[in-house]
Amino acid sequence: MPLLKRFDVPGPRYTSYPTADRFVEAFGPADYEQALRQRAEGASVGARAALSLYVHIPFCESVCYYCACNKVITKHHSRAAEYLLALRAEIAMHAKALGSAQPVSQVHLGGGSPTFLSDEELQGLMAELGDAFRILPGAEVSIEVDPRTASPERLAAWRRMGFNRISFGIQDFDPDVQKAVHRVQSFESVRGLMRAARELGFESINADLIYGLPKQTPASFARTVAQVGELRPDRIALYAYAHLPLRFKPQRRIEPSTLPPPGDRVSMLSGAIASFLGHGYSYIGMDHFALADDALAVAKRQGRLHRNFQGYSTQPDCDLVALGVSAIGRMGATYSQNAKTLPEYYDAIHRGQFATVRGLALTRDDLLRRAVIMALMCQGRVEFESIELAYLVKFRDHFRAELNELAAFEAEGLVTIESDSVQVTAPGWFLVRAIAMVFDKHLQADRVRERFSRII
């Protein structure tokens, strides 16, 4: 526990490198369209690989005070109609730029609450994606679900639409915590939904939890963790709450005095880890757990784990088409993000142009460091020779300063530095973000980290 406290500093989650805070407004619609054309012409790094699709649905009926997502709070479901028309136009623009029937191996609907949409609206959206792209047999098709908007009947409808993976936002089952964050949902209702999802044949069921919320204590969170263990989802995502009220307006409704102190947060994390491991889960990395026979755990054991904007994935590195307001995508050696507000997004789409408002063209050094950081985050090991062959550098010479800095981690038993590799140890996995930060040139340059959540 003292070790966890010592390394509990703000840092990126590394769903990309460079991280999204490094995107620049100089990268706009024309740059994004060029990246799409390069893929269509076969010049993109991932041009021969299947695409991944992400669709952002921003609407929620009520605000959860902890939420840091891009969202629109409304009870007027009619607002979805205009958004779906804009999405249809954006999908068509991508199909035109990339060419028809581009293969897709992964589809993910996130938000907000994708289940804000009616089943008819979701069916129409999935049909449009299927018309514009070629969704491959066996593709991962997943949706984020607010349990308060779900029912066994809706689950059956989503399964018929082709969704085979589902993620339930639980966060915490304690009634006092739920009231404090304005998200009340019973354990019994979630248990019924999970049971129905299994009976319907969903291939993977995920549960999201958050520790560090107001009114949480180590004892109360231990009860939630035990209840989740009883539900036995295939995967568990355990996130640390980041209280950044200056950036995220809903968090201003949380009274700071109700937040658990750092020591309690560490106790919650360590207790949850021990409990999930005791329930037979494998620790995937950073904040993810999976049952031993889940595809994510198998990929971890086989060294095939990858990481993208949705977190850990079994999908190989591939281009990601991101659709909708604020959505972040990857195309070749570029990242891009759509407009963050609906008026800006609608304006761009109505003018017949991509809604890109910022992004980044990666340099050779960015690509090199991304390879190192993702190897650490996913495999927990960097082989010097593989990096040297791919990027024509002498690893020990190029990263001399970083290896020197890693010596402190080695002294704590978090990494092992060999003549030909850096290996993250079992304890080091719990602090892998801090280890990866050593290789983040942008972060090392300015040391301004307050915009990131704390590692613990």
User: What pLDDT, on a 0 to 100 scale, did the predictor assign at position 415?
Assistant: 96
Q: Is the residue at 345 inside a domain?
A: no
Q: Is 358 exposed, middle or buried (0-12, 13-18, 19+ CB in 10 A)?
A: buried
Residues 183 and 242 occupy one common structural domain: yes
Tell me what percent of the residues of the chain surpass a pLDDT of 90: 79
Please give the Cα distance from 99 to 57 (Å, whole number). 25
In whole angstroms, how far apart are CA 353 and each of 31, 125, 340, 347, 395? 12, 20, 15, 9, 42
Cis peptide before 324 (omega within 30 of 0): no
**Helical segments of 262-383, H only:** 262-278, 295-302, 342-350, 364-378
Residue 185 makes CB contacts below 8 A (sequence gap 6+) with 147, 148, 170, 178
For residue 46, pLDDT over 60 is answered with: no
In whole angstroms, how far apart are CA 22 and each of 16, 69, 302, 371, 435? 11, 18, 32, 17, 20
The mean-pLDDT minimum among 46-55, 207-216, 318-327, 418-427 falls in 46-55
CB 344 within 8 A of CB 355: yes
How is residue 317 written in tokens?
A: 């590195």
- Domain containing 92: what range? 18-323
Interior angle at CA 328, CA 327 and CA 329, nearest 5: 120
Q: Is 177 exposed, middle or buried (0-12, 13-18, 19+ CB in 10 A)?
A: buried
Buried b (16+ CB within 10 A) or exposed e, 64-99: bbbbebbbbeeeeeeebeebbebbbebbebbbebbe
Q: Is the residue at 7 inside a domain?
A: no
How is residue 291 written in tokens?
A: 């049952």
Cis peptide before 147 (omega within 30 of 0): no
Residues 108 and 253 occupy one common structural domain: yes
Tens-digit pLDDT profile for residues 148-182? 999 999 999 999 999 999 999 999 999 999 999 99
Residues 306 and 429 occupy one common structural domain: no
Q: What is the CATH number of the domain that holds 391?
A: 1.10.10.920
Q: Is the residue at 300 inside a domain?
A: yes
Number of domains in the chain: 2
Per-residue pLDDT, averaged over 101-112, amounts to 94
Q: Is the residue at 273 inside a domain?
A: yes
Residues 191 and 132 occupy one common structural domain: yes
User: What pLDDT, on a 0 to 100 scale, did the predictor assign at position 11?
Assistant: 77
Per-residue pLDDT, averaged over 358-375, amounts to 96
Tens-digit pLDDT profile for residues 127-136? 999 999 999 9
Chain centroid, CA 69 distance in Å: 11
Buried b (16+ CB within 10 A) or exposed e, 317-352: bbbbbbbbbbbbbbbbbbbbbbbeebeebbebbeee
Residues 401 and 312 occupy one common structural domain: no
Residues 299 and 429 occupy one common structural domain: no
Tens-digit pLDDT profile for residues 267-307? 999 899 999 999 999 999 878 999 999 999 999 888 888 88
Q: Is 244 exposed, middle or buried (0-12, 13-18, 19+ CB in 10 A)?
A: middle
How is residue 382 written in tokens?
A: 């960097």
For residue 449, pLDDT over 90 is answered with: no
The alpha carbons of the chain give a radius of gyration, in whole angstroms, of 22
Residues 211 and 288 occupy one common structural domain: yes
Last residue in a domain, options 323, 354, 378: 323
Q: Is the residue at 11 inside a domain?
A: no
Q: Is the residue at 346 inside a domain?
A: no
Residues 267 and 404 occupy one common structural domain: no
DSSP 362: P
User: What pLDDT, on a 0 to 100 scale, did the predictor assign at position 315?
Assistant: 80
For residue 3, pLDDT over 70 is answered with: no
One-letter identity of residue 376? L
User: What pLDDT, on a 0 to 100 scale, did the predictor assign at position 451?
Assistant: 55
Interior angle at CA 53, CA 130 and CA 21, nearest 5: 160
Q: What is the CATH number of the domain that holds 289?
A: 3.80.30.20
- Per DSSP, which regions of 4-120 are E strands? 51-57, 59-60, 72-73, 102-111
Residues 372 and 316 occupy one common structural domain: no
Q: Is the residue at 129 inside a domain?
A: yes
One-letter identity of residue 83? Y
How is residue 2 written in tokens?
A: 């003292």
Last residue in a domain, options 323, 350, 377: 323
Structural element, H or E, at residue 86:
helix 79-98
Please give the Cα distance from 137 to 159 (Å, whole number). 15
User: What pLDDT, on a 0 to 100 scale, did the predictor assign at position 305?
Assistant: 87
CB neighbourhood size of 446 (10 A): 7
Residues 273 and 409 occupy one common structural domain: no
Residues 318 and 405 occupy one common structural domain: no
Q: Is the residue at 331 inside a domain?
A: no
Q: Which of 186, 272, 264 is nearest to 222 (CA)?
A: 272
Last residue in a domain, options 323, 352, 387: 323
How is residue 82 written in tokens?
A: 């205009």
User: What pLDDT, on a 0 to 100 scale, did the predictor assign at position 142?
Assistant: 96
For residue 7, pLDDT over 70 is answered with: no
Structural element, H or E, at residue 289:
strand 288-291
For residue 52, pLDDT over 80 is answered with: yes
Q: Return the percent helix, strand and coil in the chain, to nearest 5.
A: 45, 20, 35
Residues 313 and 385 occupy one common structural domain: no
